[in-house]
Structure 1
Amino acid sequence: MPIRFALNRTCAPQLSLSDFISLASASGVDAVEIRNDIEGREFADGTPASEVKAQLDAAGLAVASVNALQRFNEWTQERAREAEAIISYAAKLGAPGLVLCPVHNEDHGWTTAEAEQNLRHGLKHLRPILKDHGVTGYVEPLGMKGSTMKRQDMAVAAVTDIDGWDAYELCYDTFQFFRCGDTALIPERIGLAHMSGISRQDLGPADLTEPDRGLIFVDDRVGNIGQLRRLIGAGYTGFVSMEPFSPAVQEDPELLAHLRASLEYVATLLKSPA
């Protein structure tokens, strides 16, 4: 089965929706990830989901996800209202799932036991909202130092504990996996994959941050090709979404050419023998 690439909105947050869709179409991807957290853009600016969907349909692009409900494991009445709004939007957009990101600030003050309890509490309360709208929660471990859910196995244990596999799958991010030194790949639970490249050499994995994430070329330190070969070899057939946060990528006047080159580089190596 051909690799199904998607493009995350982080690649070009400065573009209008129509220009972003044109970029995605010209790059050759099959789908996009719409974000709810970019000021002045779709969702945040009140653009109806039906309008976004109509433009995507006209371009022949699917929606890989809406990205993301932040701090889902810090459950409050405000978080419940936020979740309802985003999940409802995702459903109207025709998105199969919503990415769920945990608290990841270093001063959260939770003990390990509290973090485990809060993770399960958030998943338990989100589950009926997701099921009511027919949207899957893509639980994404984040590998930075202050993350309350760094590894894939932590997410799997929590979803299993609340009997939630009817509402959840994992979001597997090659950078997050690399950043925290994760080793446990659980492909049967993965519903969405993110990829991005790291070229800078002066920082260790734990000290890298989101703005370091660029496109994927031969100087990549993350080991994207190896990670994705392992994932696809285990039977994964979902979208693999390019998710760079680097300002150098976002402001690149030759973004389309470089994006196409990066996607072709990844596709070519994934099709070739290891």
Structure 2
Amino acid sequence: MTYKISHDRLCVNRKIAPNLSIEQFFNLIEKLGLNKVEIRNDMKSGRVSDNLTGEDVRHLAAQHAFTIETINAVYPFNQLTDEVLEKTRGLLQDARATGAKALVLCPLNDGTVISNQQTEAALKTLAPLFAEYGILGLVEPLGFPQSSLRSAALAQQLIQQAGAPFKIVLDTFHHHLYEGAEQDFAGGVDVQNIGLVHLSGVTDTRPTAQLTDEERIMLSADDLLRSKQQVQRLEEMGYRGIYAFEPFSSVMDAWSEDDIAREIQSSIAYLNN
């Protein structure tokens, strides 16, 4: 059975539009008939809301009848220094001001070993902070060989052990990169614990371990991540949550609004054909 993903379950990450203001980005997404976005703290302005206030962004989203699903991201959530805690609190304030529902948490990704106990302790420390602001925490395992948390199943387990009300972000790129990911699923990633799915595509044929964010584009029949097949399996498992397009490549620096619109439309068509 092929599952169709309705427009109200599709979201677009702002990473696809590095040269658009928040207003231009929101206008474009509304024209495509979509109503969900992710915003970021790593755009060119360096701020979640660019030159706007958080309240401006909240009002803008309300005018478009959008939900802001997440802010990406706290890094590295599992190496909790005073600086990381301060950054987390700042992003939680941004989330509350903009009306974002969740804040994504990414693990350390520089080859430093972080024990499971350290990651669990970080989750325990962060949980009351997120509760204070009324924001959902979404833990995103990164599949890179140097990542300190690669496994969705392990992330699920550590969240449960920490007693944190967090969910996981399943990213089709990072799932592909982590060689144990298929065993993870066989071993029981519960779709009820998935808070968001990130979608991108890769057509670059270099060895999987050499892939970086630079190779992440949109979806097509040539996608080596098999993102469409990953979506179909999640649907079969009963996932009914949000899918967010999150390409990363610098090729998008040269994309016009028309290019962005075409790429989103063709990805949706491919996903649902």
Instruction: Indicate whether the TM-score tops 0.5.
Output: yes
Residue type of the alignment partner of 2:128: P
Q: Deviations over 1:70-121 (max 9, x none)?
A: 1000001111111111012112222221110000012x2x2xxx42122112
Equivalent residue number for residue 224 of structure 1:
227
Equivalent residue number for residue 272 of structure 1:
none
Judge conservation of contact 1:69–1:83 (CA < 8 Å) in 2: yes
Equivalent residue number for residue 170 of structure 1:
168
User: Residue 9 of structure 1: which of 14, 24, 31 is its match?
Assistant: 14
Looking at structure 1, the residues matched to 174 and 55 of structure 2 have their Cα atoms a distance apart, in angstroms, of 33
Judge conservation of contact 2:141–2:151 (CA < 8 Å) in 1: yes
Equivalent residue number for residue 211 of structure 2:
208
Q: Deviations over 1:213-240 (max 9, x none)?
A: 0010111110111110111222222210
TM-score, normalized by length of structure 1?
A: 0.90
After the TM superposition, which of the residue ranges 147-156 and 52-61 deviates more from structure 2? Answer: 52-61
Instruction: Tell me whether 1:88 sits opposite 2:86 in the alignment.
Output: no
SS in 2 for 1:170: strand
Q: What value does the CA root-mean-square deviation take over the aligned residues?
A: 1.6
Looking at structure 1, the residues matched to 251 and 42 of structure 2 have their Cα atoms a distance apart, in angstroms, of 20
Judge conservation of contact 1:16–1:41 (CA < 8 Å) in 2: no
Instruction: Tell me whether 1:143 sits opposite 2:148 in the alignment.
Output: no
Q: Deviations over 1:119-172 (max 9, x none)?
A: 1121111111101111111000000011000010110121121111x2x00001
Which structure 2 segments of 5+ residues have no match? Answer: none
Judge conservation of contact 2:120–2:158 (CA < 8 Å) in 1: yes
Correspondence 1:98-177 to 2 at 5 A: 98-106=103-111, 108=112, 110=113, 114-164=114-164, 166=165, 168-177=166-175
Residue type of the alignment partner of 1:199: T
Equivalent residue number for residue 192 of structure 2:
188
User: Residue 56 of structure 2: which of 24, 30, 51 is its match?
Assistant: 51
TM-score, normalized by length of structure 2?
A: 0.90
Looking at structure 2, the residues matched to 62 and 250 of structure 1 have their Cα atoms a distance apart, in angstroms, of 25
* C-alpha deviation, 1:41, in angstroms: 5.7
Looking at structure 2, the residues matched to 22 and 42 of structure 1 have their Cα atoms a distance apart, in angstroms, of 20
SS in 1 for 2:267: helix
Instruction: Tell me whether 1:246 sits opposite 2:253 in the alignment.
Output: no
SS in 2 for 1:255: helix
Looking at structure 1, the residues matched to 230 and 10 of structure 2 have their Cα atoms a distance apart, in angstroms, of 15
Residue-pair matches, total: 260
Looking at structure 1, the residues matched to 147 and 46 of structure 2 have their Cα atoms a distance apart, in angstroms, of 27
Classify 1:29/1:250 alpha carbon distance in 2 versus 1 (closer, same or farther; 3 Å): farther
Looking at structure 2, the residues matched to 212 and 249 of structure 1 have their Cα atoms a distance apart, in angstroms, of 11
Looking at structure 2, the residues matched to 17 and 96 of structure 1 have their Cα atoms a distance apart, in angstroms, of 17
Judge conservation of contact 1:42–1:52 (CA < 8 Å) in 2: no
Equivalent residue number for residue 201 of structure 2:
197
Judge conservation of contact 2:22–2:50 (CA < 8 Å) in 1: no
Looking at structure 1, the residues matched to 51 and 131 of structure 2 have their Cα atoms a distance apart, in angstroms, of 24
Judge conservation of contact 1:138–1:191 (CA < 8 Å) in 2: yes
Which structure 1 segments of 5+ residues have no match? Answer: 270-274
Looking at structure 2, the residues matched to 195 and 149 of structure 1 have their Cα atoms a distance apart, in angstroms, of 19
Judge conservation of contact 1:142–1:149 (CA < 8 Å) in 2: yes
Looking at structure 2, the residues matched to 137 and 226 of structure 1 have their Cα atoms a distance apart, in angstroms, of 27
Judge conservation of contact 2:18–2:252 (CA < 8 Å) in 1: no
Q: Deviations over 1:173-220 (max 9, x none)?
A: 01100111211232121011100000112x122210001000101111
* C-alpha deviation, 1:44, in angstroms: 6.2
